[in-house]
Structure formats: structure tokens, C-alpha cells
Structure 1
């Protein structure tokens, strides 16, 4: 069993200093434009101390609270995805010489070791799914380079939002795998567990002490209470059969009347990885840069195949997103593509709740199964 240590709050800056000494560019949560985002971090005082995040369907706002904690919020609109699967990335460059011959060269990306502080359990689970897609047998070179240079300091979530349901998917709030260091925040400091060789080396360089029995008990109790406070859930962890048995359910039409097909849900989702590719030619036509950009199954052109749209309306696009996320991913990756972070609920402009829609659609399949002899 991994040993648990205690880092007093006044020594949190030491962790940042050690990461900097090891050559890591530290990135951590900070308040920007009324939300919490990940940005360059060199001073622990820049963390969102005494800040909470109130989230409900279609609503997100920060709240000032009377406590010394800097991770007392569930999550912001960002996850790890933008730091690894870049929103826009140059893949290669094409150049034409005077004789008209074309040459292709890969676009080198500036690399920097990065340490991300404050990663939640749901986002670590999402990272494992991104790894399965981008770092598998046909590894994506850019993603793989960024992934190798990444160090993760996870913080267990003791304050779930109204929109959270990671307990339902089995991905939180406690951190089980994926982090180099796992922290549990208390008022006076942090319970610390190392989960890798790099994490162990960091522990050796920090002013740690043994935690008291009371501190251990408080940390465990807060995580358990965070699990119990979650008020949303999915009807199961493998919904493949239920969803594909209900492709003509009337709920698809009902949700389509509310959905704007704006793509907010996939932009904030930590596991969605749809992309498109574009050519960016120079004005004189002598060269061109090939780009990969984030895309969405809610956009019309995403399903364009040989002169026709396979999913011509919002109904079929929303259905594709939900059935693939909660059903089809089991065929590809052996589990659902949802980690219960609730971002798609909070950041949907009209407050569509993935858990409510899924429960409504799967209810008929559950009732039929119960009535079957």
C-alpha cells in the first residue's frame, strides 16, 4: 500500500519550486474571466484560494467562500484535453520548388515538460481514454510527445458540483490511478501519496511529515461525503444494448427541439476527440500547411460522405453523440466514453442534462427487460 504523507499548506510553494527545478513548466488552476482555467503557475498565491464553483444545468458561476482551500471546486470548462490533443495543430507543410516539384515536411512542435497541478479523478479517467485512442498501436506523434513530457499532480474532489456524477461512472471522486502525486486537501494542508517514481522523488524533496489519525480520517470522510452528495447518475455503466434498442425513441425528437447543435458539450467534454483537417495555403501558392482542428459530430459537414449528409438534422446528430459516447465506446475501448464530470450539463446553453436524457431513453428498455418472461 502506498504510504501517505502530509504537506502543511504553507509549504505548497515548495512543490512548485521543486517542479520548476526539475525542468517542468507548472500549470495550475486560476481564475480567468469568471471561471477556473488551467494556466502557467509559478506562485501558489495565484491559485483560487477561497473560491467555489456553483454549477447547475446551463449555469456556472464562481463564489467567494470563507476557507483557505485552493481546490474547493469540482471542475472548470477545461480538462487535460487541450494540453494534449491540441485544438489546432500543424501536421505537415508542403512546398513547391521552381521546377514544380512538391516536398512534404513534418511540422516540428516546440516541446516543454509540463506539470499539471489540480487534476481531478474524472479527468485522469478521461486521460486514460485519450491515451487508448492517441497513444495506442497507431500512436499520434504530437500527442505521444506531449504525453511523455507530462507530470500529473491530482487532487481528490471533496466538493462535487450539482452536475457531477463521477460516482455513477466509477471514475471518482477518489483518485485510484493515473497521477504521479495524489493530494487530498484539508484546511491545514494536504495528504500526499506518490504513485510513480517521479512522484516518489518529489516526496523525498518536500517537507513532509506523517499524518495524524484524525487527518487521515477527515480526508477519507470528505471523499465519501463527496460521493454521497452526488445527486445525478446514469442508469448503468454499460448502456450499449439499451441505447441501440431505442434508436427510434420519441425522446430523440424532444431533445432535438431544445438542442442548439452548438457543440459546447463536445468542446468541454474531456474525452471527445473528433477532428477535421484543413489546408492553409500561402497567398502565392508556393506552400501550404496542413492543419488538424477540433470538430464536432454536431456539425453538418462531420457526417458528409460522397455527396450526402448521413446525419442531416439535430435529432440524428445528438443521437449519434449520445449513443456513441455511452454505447459504441464499449466496442472500441471496453467502457463508456463518459467519466461523469458533468461539464456538458453545466456548459450547455439550454441546460440539457445527459443523465436525464439517458435515463428517459433507457427506461423503456429496462421496463421491457423486467416484463420479459
Structure 2
């Protein structure tokens, strides 16, 4: 008569305590087959086989356990360790699979030690893989434009899972078929250089408007008390992130624009959306020392956003998707604000950026007209703010 699973497990424990690992493994294998699938028994079998100096048998037991629980962190960690011990080329990738399933709960010191070694081995595997791929792509990259090289490098980084794809996720208005770029190349925006060339003039007008008694300095985020705040809880109506609006929802803010004639003239170079009640928009964005803007996405992918940094303390950064840039005074960039983005001013000084919107260059004139009609109608029929 076949022994019950509990009896087999008890006998296996006695054999292991006597260092009879071969008998313990035999009994655990019988126990694993004596009832419903049980990953814990198979992991115990793997541990016994490893202690007995049988890494192949241990690996087979781990694979049986993973067939039951494919994302089990301990099983994946043991699998990677065994593959490394066996000198298998797949060990580097296996470490990555284990690292990806690391639990949030604190880990025992011995597991942390194994994991740290695994992270080193996985990083070395990634470096070797990237070097091999880069060598194969070198000829194409040498003939590529700067923008093409950036996209090729990102393709390689995504394939290595050092970065991940990010996509446009507008909260309200999603126009199909538009190119998704975190930071857009400069070539479609020939007016960038003219605006950058007058950074000093724009900064002087910023000083004038900030010194004016009637300047309107308002919190950047202004939700009503009844609206869900989510990531804006800390910054809603908070003076740590404020704006001096020049153009707001298509209307000039007279208290501010009268101090900024040259800035307004330069914005005439930009193909800004003309949408009743919604656009154009332009503002000086002021971020207080030590303030973070949490990850978020914008409303409408038919427009892009431009930043012209004016006051930039050291260390201030801006992330869109997988790419992080440090603002530099006078170096403008265009980005898609419907792709997840965030910002940080870690310094002890104020950071100020000129921000304005513009049409996505992929839109035709007819498409712009249709977008303006829809969004304008929506803005016209929106309920008044409480």
C-alpha cells in the first residue's frame, strides 16, 4: 500500500536530518506525485537535490514547481542560481526574470546577498548583449541622422528592457494616427532658434511682470474641492507650483501681457492652436525649491508643449516617458504632454520655465479645424467653475 503524502514528507524529513539526501529526494518525489500539484514540495525537493550536489535534478524540480507557479520569486531565484552553477548561457536572462518578481516585503539577509550577486550577473549579461547588438548595428548607426540614432538607441534599450515603451494617454481628447514622441526632434519647429535667441529679453520681461504690483500669480493646479485629485493632492492650489499666465484658454491676461510685448510677439511665430475657450496658452511656470511635480498626462494629443528654461538652478530635471533631461537656460524643447511626465526642483532656488502649446505637426489644416470645432464646442458648453 502506498504511503500517504504526509507520511512520505515526514519520512523525507527524517532522511534529510540524517544527511541521506538521496533517500530524502526519492521520498519527496513520491510525495509530489502522491496528490495535487504542490509547488512547495517540489521546491523542497529542489533544495534537497542541490544539497546532494545534483544541480541538474534540482533544476528539473524547480522547473516542475514553476509549471505550477510561473512567477514565484523564490523558484525563479533558485533557477537562476542553478543555471549559473551549471554554466548555462541562459543564466544572465534568468536572473532578470527573478529580479523582476522581487517582492515588496523585506527579504532575509541571505536572500538579499544572492539577489545582489544576481543583479551584478544580470547587468553583465545585459552589457554583453548590448555590445553584441551595437556591433551589429554600428554600420546603420554611422549613416543615421541624429534623430535616427536616438530612436535606434531607444529601440536597443527597449529590447534590453532597460527602458520600456511609453504611449500617448490623453485624459480627454485622443486624435488617432499621430506620431508618439516623448521629446520631438527640432527640425519640424524652425521657430525654436528665434525664440531661444531672445531668452535674455524674455527673462527681462519675466522680471518686469514678477515685480509688477498687479501681476497675477496663481497656483498652477486649481481643482474644485469636489473633484477627485489623485496625484494632484499635494499641489492643488499650492503656491509651490504657480503660473504667471500670458495667454489662458485663448485669452490674454492683461495684467501680465502688458509687461511682455516681445514674448507675445515671439509667440506669433508659433503655430498655436486657436480654440475658443481652450487655446492658445502661454505662461511662466514657477516651481519652488524642493518641489516635485508627480507623474501625470495631459488632456489632448492634438497639441504639443514647448519649454523655454529661463531660471534653472543646478539639478532641476524633467522626465517624459523613459527620457530624462536637465533644463538648461535658453535651450528649448518640444514634448508630448500626453505621455507620462514629471519634474523636480531639488535645489534651494526658484525654477522658472516659459511654457506654451502648439499644434501637433502631423495634423493637416482640415484636421486642425475639426479638432478646434470639437474642443471649442466642449469648452463653450462646460459648466461654470464653482
**Could you state the TM-score of these two structures normalised by the residue count of structure 2?**
0.22
More RCO (CA 8 Å, sep 6+) = 1
Give the strand-richer structure, 1 or 2: 1
Structure with max Cα Rg: 2
Give the helix-richer structure, 1 or 2: 2
